[in-house]
Chains A and B, each alone.
Chain A
Amino acid sequence: MISAKYVISVLFVALALMGCRPQPDKESHSNTLEVYSGWARPGTAGGNSAVYLTIYNGSGATDTLQKVTTGAAATASIHESYKADGLSGMRAAGNQPIAPETTLELKPGGLHIMLMDLKKPLSAGDTIGVQLQFKTAGGIQFEVPVRAP
């Protein structure tokens, strides 16, 4: 006969485990925004590269990604890849509003941070610093690894 004490203990452990959710791989924190899963592509000096990452807006209000800067390149800006008339291309994407409790994902084939005119080669294993500027949250600085595909 299974004792009530045993059943209650099992239930308690089960409830405690249900409260454990896998946390995203966070690289940077602010009170309102979480930036994580960032990585950059290799590139040659003078060439271009791309940075990908995920931004979660945990605040109660919309915030807007306005600007990106990095010491690794002369210019960083938000771009998006697109397909039109059977051709693939890229264009500037402008400010990105992020509604509360939603995620903005910058990933291959879509939105990404374009780095232009790299100041030095980026090789797999390197790390670069990137600063995101938000309308409300201000600046968030984080490091991303360079990964070969």
Chain B
Amino acid sequence: MASLKNFTGHLLLFAIALLLISGCEEPDVIHNLGNKSNILVNQQGDTVRFPADFRGQHLVIGFIYTHCPDICPVTTANMKQAYSQLKDTADVEFVGISFDPARDTPAVLRQYMHNFKLPADHFTMLTGDSASVESVLRRMGVEAAISYRDTTAEGTVNYFMKHTDRISIMDIRGRVRFEYPGSVVPPEHLVEDLNKLR
């Protein structure tokens, strides 16, 4: 009887230790946006409180601008592949945030979604006024700036941006838990880390 008591006691201690250890392995909070939202606009022109309107969902967030022909499409493609690899997407939303709100209007973002065949039931593109977009970028540790301007033969001025190459995963409470180089990360890594939070 005494030995059974000892065994139970040891088992309980072991279980508590295991719980503590598994708690220590939880991914860190990198940025916490859960305490305050910014007002942005989605591809339909609707006002969106970011991230409050997505509370309860895990977000896979990519940062792009639609005039970027090379890096940003790869970031978008990685997000789309991650979406297709997920078995259950009920609690996940894929969000593209533009750091070029001057040109990336809701109509332009709608066309971008059409071009890349992004399903509207699980993808949202966000833009807004410059101040709000810059605030979101700052809070998520993303930088973007005009790098140089070019003029086409017809005289149209085009500018290009240098920017953080980023995909972030945000939990249901508006906290960024994972960050990756958006155009480089294998989509299966996004899926694997997302599933750690679900």
Contact residues of A with B, CB < 8 Å? 41-44, 46-50, 74-75, 77, 79, 81, 83-84, 86-92, 108-109, 112, 114-117, 121-124, 148-149
Contact = CB atoms under 8 A, between A and B. Distances in A.
A69 to B, nearest CB: 10
Contact of B111 (A81, A83, A89, A121): A121
Given A86-B164, A117-B156, A81 B70 contact: yes
Interface stretch (B12-20, B28-36, B61-69): B61-69
Nearest to A81: B70
Interface of B: 66-71, 73-74, 76-77, 80, 108, 111-112, 115-117, 143, 147-148, 150, 152-154, 156, 158, 160-165, 183
Nearest to B165: A88
B159 to A, nearest CB: 11
A43 B156 contact: no
B108 A44 contact: yes
6 contacts: A44-B108, A75-B153, A86-B164, A89-B147, A90-B160, A117-B158
B74 A108 contact: yes
Nearest to B156: A117
Given A44-B112, A87-B162, A88-B162, A148 B117 contact: yes
Nearest to B184: A109
B78 to A, nearest CB: 9
Contacts of A122: 115
B111 A44 contact: yes
Contacts of A48: 67-69, 158
Given A81-B71, A87-B163, A88-B164, A149 B147 contact: no
A100 B66 CA distance: 37
B65 to A, nearest CB: 10
Given A74-B153, A117-B156, A112 B162 contact: no
Given A50-B70, A90-B147, A117-B158, 19 more contacts: A41-B73, A42-B116, A43-B115, A47-B67, A47-B108, A48-B68, A86-B164, A87-B162, A87-B164, A88-B162, A89-B162, A90-B69, A90-B70, A92-B150, A108-B70, A108-B73, A116-B156, A116-B158, A117-B156
Given A88-B183, A149-B74, A116 B150 contact: yes
Given A42-B116, A91-B147, A149-B73, A83 B68 contact: no
B154 A47 contact: no
Contacts of B153: 74-75
B155 to A, nearest CB: 9
B154 A90 contact: no
Contact of B69 (A87, A89, A115, A148): A115
A40 to B, nearest CB: 9
A121 B154 CA distance: 18
